[in-house]
């Protein structure tokens, strides 16, 4: 009996494998979704269903057009890329990983006409065939119902900054959350369903908000929020739901440690409020489970702290001439590795790449900061780096004026 059931199960698994293989070869749900169905969805979202267009398409259509000129001029600029649906921060995620199809310029020289010359053609690659410019949770509910009916897969995109490419997929329907940008400050935020005694200052941000916007809003309200160093990254998506590391995290916690509440549309199409008093399991999952894993978050309320005075140490090393070797990066990281546990315990956090390092600290005095960071400051001075040791007083535009590694 047990043996025959085992065979039965095995046969069923084989049948499923064969069915999936067959489906891949012959068709995709997109091919079975009629124009009428798309038209129906379009009217359900008040016309805000559009076709995905690669950022560089105009340059394939007419290399001398004004539209193409703008694309060439802004091609390497993160802010411009994050503001268009068909632009991703890393262009490999505009490329289909299976077929190699894409619609790209030369990132190192966007003026080059080589990539747009025949026989090269502009192909959609991994960019979604359709996207909804999401303006309310209802749009997301409609998209889930549509996906359930047609089988067309769903993708969630705000800025397109995801390093694992989770904000694009070929032949999909994308939910573009980028225009959910409103923010509000609540001096005593009580998570829905919780007792009044659970109140704390909170800042609520829509799913399209980027860190640069959130920092400006926080400073205007004299509060500190813990966020990332790249001001183009989204607050609520992969950064927050995936953990949320920031320069202040060693002292003030990760992004996920500071979430007070999420509003999220789960795949059954229901808008839910998840916090420590209701849907606790979902609240737990959304604090580390990864962007878009358990639903589409439409807004999050994060803990707001008083403004703090920060000590900052910034090193900018001269770049070696092209084609020459330099040990700067290796030697700088040696200094870091030898000191990093102590620095973390003393309250430092930051970001470094090959030729820059930016550290901030909300705990120390200027004198303590100089002593604590002496190994790095000495190393920088010996290696002819520009060394900036400074204080950002509380109440000044600290986070918005702090450089990011990519801006140095």
Ligand X SMILES: *[C@@H]1O[C@H](CO)[C@@H](O)[C@H](O)[C@H]1NC(C)=O
- The residue (of 86 and 206) whose beta carbon lies closer to ligand X is 206
Kindly report the three-state secondary structure assignment for every residue of the chain.
CHHHHHHHHHHHHHHHHHHHHHHHHHCCHHHHCCHHHHHHHHHHCCCCEEECCCCCHHHHHCCCCHHHHHHHHHCCCHHHHHHCCCCCCCHHHHCCCCCCCCCCCCCCCCCCCCCCCCCCCCCCCCCCCEEEECCCHHHHHHHHHHHHHHCCCEEEECCCCCCCCCCCCCCCEEEECCCCCCEEEEEEECCCCCCHHHCEEEEEEECCCEHHHHHHHHHHCCEECCCCCCCCCECCCHHHHCCCCCCCHHHHCCHHHHEEEEEEECCCCCEEEEECCCCHHHHHHCCCCCCCCCCEEEEEEEECEECCCEEEEEEECCCCCCCCCCCHHHHHHHHHHHHHHHHHHCCCEEEEECCEEEEEECCCCHHHHHHHCHHHHHHHHHCCCEEEEEEECCCCCHHHHCCCHHHC
- The residue (of 192 and 329) whose beta carbon lies closer to ligand X is 192
Residue 113 interacting with ligand X (CB under 6 A): no
- The residue (of 94 and 299) whose beta carbon lies closer to ligand X is 299
Instruction: Restricting to residues 165-194, name those near ligand X by CB under 6 A.
Output: 182-184
- Least Cβ distance, residue 224 to ligand X (angstroms): 8
- Least Cβ distance, residue 138 to ligand X (angstroms): 11
Phi, psi of 182, rounded to the nearest 5 degrees: -75, 155
- The residue (of 204 and 250) whose beta carbon lies closer to ligand X is 204
Residue 43 interacting with ligand X (CB under 6 A): no
- Least Cβ distance, residue 185 to ligand X (angstroms): 9
Of residues 299, 303, 304, 402, which one binds ligand X by CB under 6 A? Answer: 299
Instruction: Restricting to residues 336-395, name those near ligand X by CB under 6 A.
Output: 394-395
- Least Cβ distance, residue 45 to ligand X (angstroms): 16
- Least Cβ distance, residue 347 to ligand X (angstroms): 17
Residue 111 interacting with ligand X (CB under 6 A): yes
Residue 241 interacting with ligand X (CB under 6 A): no
Q: How many residues touch ligand X (CB under 6 A)?
A: 15
- The residue (of 202 and 244) whose beta carbon lies closer to ligand X is 202
Is the alpha carbon torsion for 345, 347, 348, 349 positive or negative?
positive
- The residue (of 218 and 328) whose beta carbon lies closer to ligand X is 218
- The residue (of 299 and 346) whose beta carbon lies closer to ligand X is 299
- Least Cβ distance, residue 137 to ligand X (angstroms): 8
- The residue (of 150 and 199) whose beta carbon lies closer to ligand X is 199
- The residue (of 192 and 339) whose beta carbon lies closer to ligand X is 192
Residue nearest to ligand X (CB): 306
CB count within 10 Å of CB 264 equals 26
- Least Cβ distance, residue 160 to ligand X (angstroms): 21
Distance CA 26, CA 174 (A): 23
- The residue (of 109 and 353) whose beta carbon lies closer to ligand X is 109
Distance CA 12, CA 253 (A): 48
- Least Cβ distance, residue 30 to ligand X (angstroms): 32
- Are 156 and 291 within 8 A, CB to CB? yes
Binding string, 127-166, against ligand X, x = CB under 6 A? ----------------------------------------
Residue 307 interacting with ligand X (CB under 6 A): yes
Residues pairing with 294 in the sheet: none
Residue 112 interacting with ligand X (CB under 6 A): no
- The residue (of 168 and 273) whose beta carbon lies closer to ligand X is 273
Residue 204 interacting with ligand X (CB under 6 A): yes
Instruction: Restricting to residues 72-91, name those near ligand X by CB under 6 A.
Output: 72
Of residues 222, 327, 401, 407, which one binds ligand X by CB under 6 A? Answer: 222
Q: What do you get for the CA distance between the two ends of the chain, in Å?
A: 70
Residue 92 interacting with ligand X (CB under 6 A): no
- Are 150 and 78 within 8 A, CB to CB? no
The residues binding ligand X (CB under 6 A) are 72, 109, 111, 182-184, 204-206, 222, 299, 306-307, 394-395
């Amino acid at each position: 009996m047990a043996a025959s059931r085992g065979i039965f199960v095995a046969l069923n698994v084989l049948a499923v494998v064969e069915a999936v293989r067959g489906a891949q070869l012959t068709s995709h749900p997109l091919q079975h979704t009629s124009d009428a169905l798309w038209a129906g969805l379009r009217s359900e979202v008040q016309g805000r269903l559009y076709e995905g267009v690669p950022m560089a398409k105009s340059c394939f259509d007419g290399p001398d057009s004004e539209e193409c000129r703008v694309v060439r001029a802004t091609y390497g600029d993160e802010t411009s890329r994050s503001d268009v649906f068909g632009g991703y921060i890393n262009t490999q995620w505009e490329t289909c990983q299976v077929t190699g199809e894409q619609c790209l310029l030369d990132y190192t020289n966007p003026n080059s006409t080589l990539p747009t010359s025949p026989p090269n053609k502009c192909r959609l690659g991994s960019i979604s065939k359709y996207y909804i410019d999401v303006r309310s949770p209802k749009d997301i509910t409609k998209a889930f119902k549509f996906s359930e009916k047609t089988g067309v897969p769903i993708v969630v995109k705000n800025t397109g900054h995801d390093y694992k490419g989770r904000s694009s997929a070929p032949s999909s329907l994308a939910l573009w959350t980028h225009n959910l940008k409103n923010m509000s400050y609540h001096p005593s935020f009580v998570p829905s369903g919780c007792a009044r005694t659970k109140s704390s200052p909170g800042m609520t941000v829509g799913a399209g908000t980027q860190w640069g916007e959130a920092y400006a809003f926080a400073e205007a309200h004299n509060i500190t929020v813990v966020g990332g160093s790249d001001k183009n990254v989204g607050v609520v998506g992969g950064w927050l739901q995936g953990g949320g590391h920031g320069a202040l995290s060693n002292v003030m916690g990760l992004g996920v440690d500071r979430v007070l509440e999420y509003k999220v549309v789960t795949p059954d199409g229901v808008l839910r409020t998840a916090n420590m008093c209701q849907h606790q399991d979902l609240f737990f999952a959304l604090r580390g489970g990864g962007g878009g894993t358990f639903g589409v978050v439409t807004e999050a309320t994060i803990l707001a702290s008083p403004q703090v005075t920060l000590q900052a140490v910034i090193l900018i090393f001269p770049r070696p001439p092209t084609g020459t070797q330099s040990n700067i990066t290796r030697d700088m990281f040696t200094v870091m590795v030898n000191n990093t546990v102590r620095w973390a315990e003393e309250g430092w956090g930051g970001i470094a790449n090959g030729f820059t390092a930016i550290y901030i600290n909300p705990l120390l005095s200027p004198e303590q900061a100089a002593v604590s960071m002496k190994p790095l400051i000495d190393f920088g001075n010996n290696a002819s780096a520009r060394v900036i040791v400074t204080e950002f007083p509380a109440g000044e535009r600290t986070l918005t004026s702090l450089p990011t590694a990519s801006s140095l």
